[in-house]
Amino acid sequence: MKKLVFAVVVSFVASVVYAETSVTLYGGADGGITVQKLKGKSATVKFANGNLDTNMFGITGTEDLGSGNSVFFRLEQGYVLSNGKEDDDSGDKAFNRQAYLGFTSRLGQVAFGRIGALGSYNGEYSISGSSAYNTSFSALSNIHSAFILTDWMNNTIAYLSPNLNGWKLHATYSNGVNEDSEKWSRNKHYYGLGATFEDQAFRLGAYWEMLDNKGSDGFSKPKATNLFTTQASYDFGTFKLFGVYQYALHSMKLPNYTEIEGAHKGANQHALALSAAVPFAGGSARFQTQGALGKLKDTGEKYNSFSLGAAYLYPLSKRTTLYTQAGWGTTGKAFKKYDSGLGGWAATFGLGHNF
């Protein structure tokens, strides 16, 4: 009996000591040349960083604890390819994109740290992304030109459910976006809830996000921002079709993160994007259009934006892509008083490599 107990104990200890652990270094380098002409400004020719994919490097690791449980982490830093600097003006973060530690069980995943919000188009816990090239290339012709996007969030907890017959549930909460106050009630908080469905050809998603805007400058009590987004895509084989719709209620920003001066009620707006990806000549042709109609609730002014874009992506290998893209955008009169960078045209040619 003692020998049997000893054998069981040794077996258990060995399984813990030799739990499967993996650490991976990954990243990407993407650069090109962009010719751009914004309305009211001179044309420019410049080196453009991260056109198709973000320039960044990261470290991720997982340890298998057995019985369907594991611990994982991810540390990720963005950089500017043209000069090697951190791609964050403040320069105060060792990992400015995402940094989190998490646990996986049969009940799903929970992660803690700096994490992308559901509608941020950033990181593994964002569920936004149902357009031909999402936030790639110039803001003149991508989702930025019409939609209100959230961003990376500090002090965040994210939950991802197991796969439930193709469905997954998503929840994200940030306990203090601005960190300017030690008092919880004075911090800006973020709340996000969503659901996604996926099979071989069809993808569907819907999510709600809320920014309570507490502790904001200006008016003492700006209204909370609520964002409601639905998205879908279907792969027909010969082409793939995408669609996204968003309703923003009391947004303190306009598209492309443009601040609304003195906002209290903010802006209400509808945004819609339609796009397609078509296999062509060994690569993929992409076509995308989006627009927004809104109203500044503090002044009663109405505004709009509209943009068109087309791109061609050619894979030189599994990791390297040659691309070209052109886009055009315009905004209504009420929008034009803001330096949003959304009126004009741009064309880009470049190369991206992932490792």
Mind listing the pLDDT tens digit for each residue in 297-329? Answer: 999 999 999 999 999 999 999 999 999 999 999
Domains of the chain, CATH where assigned: 19-354 (2.40.160.10)
The pair of three-digit structure tokens given for residue 334, joined into one six-digit string: 């009420």
The model's pLDDT over 10-30, given as tens digits with 9 standing for 90+, comes to 343 344 444 568 999 999 999
- Mean pLDDT (the chain, rounded): 90
What does the pLDDT read at residue 21? 83
DSSP state of 281: T
Q: What CA–CA distance (Å, rounded) separates 109 from 71? A: 10
Tell me the percentage of the chain whose pLDDT exceeds 90. 77
The pair of three-digit structure tokens given for residue 219, joined into one six-digit string: 């008016």
Asked whether the beta carbons of 115 and 152 are under 8 A apart, the reply is yes
The model's pLDDT over 269-297, given as tens digits with 9 standing for 90+, comes to 999 999 999 999 999 999 999 999 999 99
Asked whether the beta carbons of 344 and 39 are under 8 A apart, the reply is yes
Amino acid making up residue 258: T
Q: What CA–CA distance (Å, rounded) separates 177 from 166? A: 32
- Cα–Cα nearest to 119, from 51, 206, 39: 206
Strands (E), the chain: 21-38, 44-49, 56-66, 69-78, 98-105, 108-116, 152-160, 167-174, 190-198, 202-211, 225-235, 240-251, 253-254, 258-259, 267-280, 283-296, 302-315, 320-331, 344-354
Residues ≥6 apart with Cβ < 8 Å to 78: 50, 54, 55, 56, 86, 87, 88, 96, 97
Q: What CA–CA distance (Å, rounded) separates 241 from 155? A: 36
The pair of three-digit structure tokens given for residue 140, joined into one six-digit string: 């003149």
Q: What CA–CA distance (Å, rounded) separates 262 from 325? A: 36
DSSP SS3 for 324: strand
- Alpha-helical runs (H) found in the chain: 2-17, 333-336
Lowest mean pLDDT among 14-18, 29-33, 334-338: 14-18
pLDDT band at 93 (very low <50, low <70, confident <90, very high): confident
Statement: residue 9 has pLDDT above 70: no
Asked whether the beta carbons of 57 and 84 are under 8 A apart, the reply is no
Q: What CA–CA distance (Å, rounded) separates 113 from 153? A: 8
Q: What CA–CA distance (Å, rounded) separates 339 from 326? A: 21
Q: What CA–CA distance (Å, rounded) separates 150 from 138? A: 18
The model's pLDDT over 134-159, given as tens digits with 9 standing for 90+, comes to 999 999 899 999 999 999 999 999 99
What does the pLDDT read at residue 100? 98
The pair of three-digit structure tokens given for residue 31, joined into one six-digit string: 């650069």
Lowest mean pLDDT among 4-13, 92-101, 158-167, 198-207: 4-13
